[in-house]
Homo-oligomer: A and B are copies of this chain.
Amino acid sequence: MKYNKDTSEKILTAAITVFEEKGFSGTRMQEIADKANINKALLHYYYKSKDKLFEIILIRAIQLLMPKLAMVFNSEDNFFKKIENFVSVYIDILSEHPHIPAFVSHEINTNPKRLLKFIENSGVNITPFIQTIKQEIEKKTIIDIEPEQLIVNTISLCIFPFIAKPIITNIILKDNKKKYTEFIESRKKEVSRFIINAIKN
């Protein structure tokens, strides 16, 4: 029993596309097979079940995200530089993999326990983030803010604009010449500026 790596990846790519649009339950395996230009039997040869396929994509998404984010925050940079890098990395990863927010938000509603398990299995540990923020508060670099609120704010500012792409494109940028991709690209600087302005002492 052998596998062709190209075929394996082609199926994954197709699955990402269809799952992103239709959600898990709304996606048929035949659709994925069509998208990947294979037959359904081969799909089942390569991936045991629909559930398994979805899970593999989800785990990959999480493992794309978490280590890089931790790495940024463990660097020797000063705090504001860390925020800039965190935001930049986060937006870059999401720009390159815009399916991640859709998968995560679907999973949050339908299968929160599974999602939390995968996130925990990814090794994410926010305690160092919290400690760092507390230190900066003590040093008076930043204002007194609950660390968890700052973390939630930062993540919200990075991720939600990807979720809201159609709304941003068609409503918020309706009379603006700027395209969505430019808008997101400029957020790398804009979001970190916003956050730093909000918290600096």
A binding-site residues for B, Cβ under 8 Å: 20-26, 102, 105-106, 108-110, 112, 115-116, 119-120, 124, 126-127, 130, 143, 145-146, 148-149, 151-153, 155-157, 159-161, 163-168, 170-176, 178, 183, 186-187, 190-191, 194-195, 197-199
Contact = CB atoms under 8 A, between A and B. Distances in A.
A167 B105 contact: no
Given A148-B183, A198-B198, A167 B119 contact: yes
A164 B158 CA distance: 13
Contact of A108 (B148, B159, B165, B183): B165
Contacts of A157: 153, 156-157
Contact of A105 (B115, B163, B175, B186): B163
A109 B23 contact: yes
